[in-house]
Amino acid sequence: MTLTPVRRHVAAGLLLMLMLPVFIGGCTRSPAVSRERPAAAPAVTRAIVTKHTDGDTAHMRLPNGVDEKVRFIGIDAPEVAESPEAYGQDASAYTARAIPIGSTVWLEFDAERRDQYGRLLAYVWLDEPADGSEAEVRAKMLNAELVLNGYAQIYTFPPNVKYAGMFRRLQSEAREAERGLWAGD
């Protein structure tokens, strides 16, 4: 059967439409699968520290001018308020030194933005992140520092689990080194 130029054009168009999903699917790579790609820089929001609460919570002014109570994702520091716990004051003092009032931090959000108490949930970066690698998390993220130095333990609350694996490794290091909460008597 001989195809006219119009029929050849239509046939080529149909073939392209049928093959396009296969072509696109074969040419794209999921970042979760590809280990060759560098990690993407986390999306962050700049904030100013306005008040300290305890080791894992602080107040921050967001770019829209609203002051928010921010709970640090993935960790739990000992309490200092109603039922003070061992290392609670130490954790609170560490956080106050790490993010003094008036300092700039960068907040990264995960799957859920607020907890059941209405607090904003965030990973708190001390310097703007570039790639979100484990080395950068260790060097720049307050949540990670608190765990690594034994001032907090991991507190995984799905679906906010982006750095849960890293936090587990940092907590193991803190335990092995007997830092803070993991120190002997």
Q: Give the residue numbers annotated as catalytic, written as ranges.
A: 71, 79, 119
**What is the spatial distance between Cα 91 and Cα 137, in angstroms, rounded to a whole number?**
19
**What is the spatial distance between Cα 99 and Cα 115, in angstroms, rounded to a whole number?**
22
Three-state DSSP state, 145: helix
Both structure tokens of 97: 């030194």
**What is the spatial distance between Cα 114 and Cα 70, in angstroms, rounded to a whole number?**
9
In this structure, are residues 77 and 152 in contact, taking their beta carbons and an 8 Å threshold? yes
Residue with tokens 């703007």: 128
Give the length of the chain: 185
Residue with tokens 């305890």: 54
**What is the spatial distance between Cα 137 and Cα 86, in angstroms, rounded to a whole number?**
26
List, in order, residues 6 or more apart from 6 with CB less than 8 Å away: none
Both structure tokens of 163: 């750095």
